[in-house]
Amino acid sequence: MGQPRSERGLGIALVISAAIAWSTAPFFTRLLPFDPWTILFWRGVFGGSLISVFLVVMQGRGALRQLVAPGRGGLLVASLSTLGMVSFIPALQMTKVMNVAVLISTQPFVAAALAWLWLGEAVTWRTLIASLVAFGGVAITVGGIEAGADVGGVALSCLMVLAISAMTVVIRRYQETSMVAAAALSNFLGSLVSLPFAHDLVHIDSANLAILAMFGCFQVALGLTFYMLGSRLLPSSQASLIATLETPLMPFWIWIAFREIPAVHALVGGALVIGAVVADIAVDARSRDRS
């Protein structure tokens, strides 16, 4: 609808970068011997601080006022992002990773439904079919949901999917809002919410503090900033579809770091997810070349 091709390409590149950054969460989590709230607190402190530095470098010190007065759109995005973040790690500890991953893969459908209801944003059959293929790939990757899965973990996973899907749509609605400031604010809000529940805030050695810093700066700060900037340039359903690349990349980092070879079903499912995303991007680019 008149959107420059370069702008669309930038959005795709940013969301792919976000998926790569987000996919490192299991790697960092495995390295840290702390309760989830302690991890969330320090991750948010480091992530929010780095994003604030980005904000100052790009817009000057005056831009920090956006953290205090983010506006309706910025506050809504930050709140939804915080809700998604504080649901994720507890969900991983309350139920199997496979259950969380399968539920995350439904995000393109949830985002598409919310965007259609609120913004009247049409969903192309191409992206819908690609989302279905990606969902099947994730289901194969994680081996399916087992009976008797913990209800609390599944409920938190559903809450996270709803929050991040809604955040994606809100970003499209409030494109004039500073999403970098919203990303920083969400990290600080996450730390604030985690503070009363954290147990090991002061019992952290320098090595683990360095890991927490890398966790916050790379996985959270870069991932969230890239996603917020990129998803404002793409339809909500497509941004959510590309973000599903996070799932097949998770076992890749574990393989690189801990020499755990992914199972055959993980490789097959991962290939389906990657193929669906690549096909959607390729067909989208071809259709724009013809228009």
Q: Say if CB 14 and CB 226 are below 8 A apart.
A: yes
The yes-or-no verdict on residue 290 having pLDDT over 70 is: no
Amino acid 97: pLDDT: 66
Distance CA 155, CA 26 (A): 20
User: Angle at which helices 97-104 and 151-173 pack, to 10 degrees?
Assistant: 30
Portion of the chain with pLDDT greater than 90, in percent: 27
Amino acid 289: pLDDT: 63
The yes-or-no verdict on residue 126 having pLDDT over 50 is: yes
pLDDT category, 98, cuts 50, 70, 90?
Answer: low
Tokens of 244: 């599903």
Tell me the residue type at 138.
V
Q: Say if CB 116 and CB 75 are below 8 A apart.
A: no
Amino acid 163: pLDDT: 95
The yes-or-no verdict on residue 150 having pLDDT over 70 is: no
In the numeric block, the tokens 């904000």 are attached to: 55
Amino acid 141: pLDDT: 67
- Going by C-alpha positions, the residue among 101, 118, 247 that lies closest to residue 160 is 101
* Stretch 223-236: mean pLDDT: 90
- Going by C-alpha positions, the residue among 187, 175, 170 that lies closest to residue 224 is 187
The yes-or-no verdict on residue 277 having pLDDT over 90 is: no
Alpha helices in the chain (DSSP H): 5-22, 25-31, 36-59, 65-68, 71-94, 97-104, 107-119, 125-142, 151-173, 179-194, 206-214, 223-231, 236-243, 246-258, 264-290
Range in 60-64, 89-93, 144-148 the model is least confident about: 144-148
Mean of the per-residue pLDDT values of the chain? 84
Q: Say if CB 156 and CB 281 are below 8 A apart.
A: no
Rounded (5°) CA angle 197-184-220: 70
Range in 6-15, 137-146, 273-282 the model is least confident about: 137-146
> Which of the given ranges, 22-26, 208-212, 283-287, has the highest pLDDT on average?
208-212
Output the CA–CA distances (angstroms, integers) from residue 13 to 6, 180, 226, 278, 281, in the order listed. Answer: 10, 17, 9, 12, 10
Range in 5-14, 115-124, 133-142, 170-179 the model is least confident about: 133-142
The yes-or-no verdict on residue 130 having pLDDT over 60 is: yes
The yes-or-no verdict on residue 61 having pLDDT over 60 is: yes
- Going by C-alpha positions, the residue among 71, 72, 285, 79 that lies closest to residue 185 is 79
Burial class of 149 by CB neighbour count within 10 A (0 to 12, 13 to 18, 19+):
middle
> Which of the given ranges, 58-67, 84-93, 239-248, 279-288, has the highest pLDDT on average?
239-248
CB-CB neighbours of 257 under 10 Å: 14
Distance CA 64, CA 53 (A): 9
pTM exceeds 0.85: no
The yes-or-no verdict on residue 110 having pLDDT over 90 is: no
Tokens of 243: 């973000």
The yes-or-no verdict on residue 23 having pLDDT over 90 is: no
Amino acid 146: pLDDT: 53
Distance CA 285, CA 288 (A): 5
Distance CA 45, CA 39 (A): 10
The yes-or-no verdict on residue 162 having pLDDT over 80 is: yes
The yes-or-no verdict on residue 285 having pLDDT over 80 is: no
* Stretch 10-30: mean pLDDT: 90
* DSSP notation for 69-87: --HHHHHHHHHHHHHHHHH
pLDDT category, 1, cuts 50, 70, 90?
Answer: very low
- Strand, coil or helix: what is 101? helix
- Going by C-alpha positions, the residue among 208, 258, 246, 221 that lies closest to residue 39 is 208
pLDDT category, 264, cuts 50, 70, 90?
Answer: confident
